[in-house]
Amino acid sequence: MKLRNALGIVAVTLIAAPLAAQTSTAPAAAAAPAAGANVAAGAKVFDAQGGEVGTVESVTNGVAVVDTGTNKVGLPLASFGAGANGPIIAMTKVELDTAASQASQKSAAELKAQLTPGATVYGASGAQVGTIKEADDQYITVTRPKGSVKLPVSAFGKGTSGPMISMTVEELDKAMSAAAPAK
């Protein structure tokens, strides 16, 4: 009977703790690496077994960019612990490269799904730039009030509202005018 009551108290504690954490109104602390992790540009990063994962390229706004030699991956500072040779993460180089590759493939597939005829294209400022008229593996033709423009697929990124380019409407108009044949 005492054992059953003790197990019941443990179960309630395990269930209640996450609920209490979710309803906390205290502001969240900024993500930081474990004490002594020394995550800074140029630092070598290791896995938990001591294998080298890569080098920290930069640290900005709570994210460290780790260059594995194959990929550059942004990791939250909270992902780092302190190791004997320098900062450590819970993934090996192979695991981190695999995860980065899978994320890249997913992002590319999501972008490709957005690059379809009839889709609205947005500019860097969020304004509508035009509508996709045609799309193939290399180029996207965007119809605009001032005519159509053919852009390489690499000029597009996945936006929250649809495909986007890194130019504003004004910048694209200027580029189109400069590229127009002289009359």
The 10s digit of each residue's pLDDT in 131-170 is 999 999 899 999 998 889 999 999 999 988 999 999 998 9
Q: Which residue has the higher pLDDT, 6 or 1?
A: 1
Distances (CA, A) of 108 to 69, 112, 135, 161: 21, 6, 15, 16
The mean pLDDT of 52-78, rounded to a whole number, is 95
Q: Given 3.60.70.12, 1.50.10.10, 3.40.50.620, 3.90.50.10, which CATH number is that of 115-179? A: 3.90.50.10
Residues in the chain, overall count: 183
Dihedral pair phi/psi, residue 59, rounded to 5°: -135, 120
| Percent of the chain clearing pLDDT 90 (strictly above) | 68
Q: What is the rounded distance in angstroms from the CA atom of residue 143 to the CA atom of residue 151?
A: 11
Residues of the chain with CATH 3.90.50.10: 115-179
Q: Please provide the CATH number assigned to the domain covering 44-107.
A: 2.30.30
Residues of the chain with CATH 2.30.30: 44-107
Q: What is the pLDDT of residues 12-59, one digit of tens each?
A: 222 333 333 333 333 344 456 666 678 999 999 999 999 999 999 999
Q: Has residue 3 got a pLDDT over 60?
A: no
pTM: 0.63
Distances (CA, A) of 4 to 16, 17, 75, 137, 164: 18, 20, 43, 64, 59
